[in-house]
Structure 1
Amino acid sequence: MEVAEVALTAPRDSLDPAGEAAVWNNLGNALWDLRRYEEAEQAHRTTLTQYQALDDHHGGVSGLGSSWRS
């Protein structure tokens, strides 16, 4: 099992949707740093969707895409 797979399944398996969203955000940041922009965007869109499902207006979304810089 790859590290990314473990990172994504652990929060899901523990029924921690906020944790899973945070993992997607971290993955998006890492992909952005690797200049894999399309994959980073997809990961951050997944983050946003997950936080919206939690109706989280302050906790996670405020840090969403923190690596999206010019």
Structure 2
Amino acid sequence: MSDMKDKFDIEKDRVKGKFNEAVGEATDDEAQELKGKLQQKKADLREDFEEAKDKVSEKINDILDRDDKNR
């Protein structure tokens, strides 16, 4: 993953989401429960994005390294 701050922020969103979802379920507050689910989905999407970004960066670096070796 890109860096520790990104990892931390993603996990923070995931934990906050689980908490909000649980509070919503316990208090029968559908809006709070939905907020929690959306926070968790946001964390999942951010994690997927960071992983894709890392893979693309790695591939580009590999291509550039190959080109440098062929000179």
Q: TM-score range by the shorter chain?
A: 0.3 to 0.5
Structure (1 or 2) with the greater helix fraction: 2
Compare CA radii of gyration and give the structure with the larger one: 2
